[in-house]
Structure 1
């Protein structure tokens, strides 16, 4: 039922599903109900998810036809223009709805094949409130963003999780697509003209990893250790005189991560060592490829190569250090079956449960330990 073709129902019980109408401008077609688990793959099968967004606008209409104005009480939704389609996306008390059409009117003026509510005064018409360009954001990246923010599972709430908040979140993601950059190098052992092309948004990383790891599964995982003193990666570090103030701000955010690591049972010696050494994870796959995953103070770095040594010697194509500070194997294990890098991304970014803007160097290794514990064979 969740992915079957059907007409949308009307009700006030939140379903935790997305309703997608691929041809809202054709009367003889219906839509699809899609669950959170199905979201990314199902939509990828139904549409060209690589379409780039040209423009996006926030629209509003009154909640009731009896309103004199929709300045304070209104439903908000986003209309998107790509090269070939018009789209609308919105959330209400029943579900999240995405509509697609060849003409603007079928998504701007209609909701699930019915006219949107308007009033009888000039102040209660459907109104465009704000517009932005789409940059290089694709439909697939936007879907990835909605999925990892767990929007389908956030039950509609009149004050906290309402249509206006959802529309603002979607619009802001399109307006500011590079606020959560990751360094991703899909061929770290091959020549590259410019390393700058490796920086991309989390949502683009999801798309690239899904493409590359479709047939790959992990067979083994390892943790490697290098001294923090050998860290040659340019990054943002807090000056010593500002550290107390910075910790006041960041410790409450980092506390759940630190507590989770403590629960893993590492000895006091091991815990203290985390602040002098740096740990990162290397995965081996059934296809003979290797992935490294590591957290730097201001970003995540993901690298893929067929030559494992390059992942041990370099990070972001910069040497990790000299022969005196080479990467040393700390732990190894078989990997849990039927998992790949997509699962690691989900573990880190679904609900952003292990994400914070800045992480002190001494705490970065804890991400590696969490990943190792999650994906090692039992």
Structure 2
């Protein structure tokens, strides 16, 4: 798992953690008792040539429109075919619009968007790391033949957690 404590800083360093380090390592870098107040479910297209991103569950339109998008949660924590990444920043655009300091994929007709948001139900950063550890997200096998499906399942699961 990659963890950026302050991704918008030019001096920001990434911390790489294994499944076993999830319960101890974050407390060395941030106050894990900090409350998470709001979560946003965001998406961006998988490819530059896409005309639309497809529907987000549970609209029922995902079967008609497809699900060609990458999904992630802002309070940023996301998972893709490489790893789980947690990014922190004071400025939302550094985590909503960028992944590991690189601009997220956009297409010529669709871009980055917040699909839904809600207030978190009294969850702390510590509880979030405990949940990630319990679910085994970091060690999960990542060989899904459908692009974006890994991130969508992960984002759906975390959105429900909050």
Q: Which residue of 2 aligns with 1:125?
A: 111
Instruction: Note the aligned Cα RMSD (angstroms).
Output: 1.3
5 Å matches for 1:83-94? Answer: 88-94=76-82
The answer for unaligned runs of 5 or more in structure 2 is 55-66
- Give the distance between the partners of 1:77 and 1:118, measured in 2 at CA: 14
Q: How many residues align?
A: 148
- What's the TM-score once normalised by structure 2's chain length? 0.87
- Give the distance between the partners of 1:22 and 1:129, measured in 2 at CA: 25
Which of 1 and 2 has greater Rg? Answer: 1
Q: Say if 2:131 is the partner of 1:148.
A: no
Q: Which residue of 1 aligns with 2:90?
A: 102
Q: Per-residue displacement from partner, 1:59-84 (whole Å, max 9, x unpaired)?
A: 0000011111111300000002xxxx
- Give the distance between the partners of 2:128 and 2:8, measured in 1 at CA: 22
5 Å matches for 1:205-354? Answer: none
Q: Which has the higher contact order (CA 8 A, sep 6+)?
A: 2
Structure 1 residue aligned with 2:69, among 70, 74, 80? 74
Q: Say if 2:26 is the partner of 1:31.
A: no
Q: Per-residue displacement from partner, 1:284-333 (whole Å, max 9, x unpaired)?
A: xxxxxxxxxxxxxxxxxxxxxxxxxxxxxxxxxxxxxxxxxxxxxxxxxx
- Give the distance between the partners of 2:154 and 2:114, measured in 1 at CA: 16
- Shift in Å, 1:159: 5.7
Q: Which residue of 1 aligns with 2:60?
A: none
- Give the distance between the partners of 1:156 and 1:91, measured in 2 at CA: 10
- Shift in Å, 1:45: 1.4
- Deviation >6 Å, runs of 4+: none
Q: Which residue of 1 aligns with 2:159?
A: 171
Higher helix share: 1
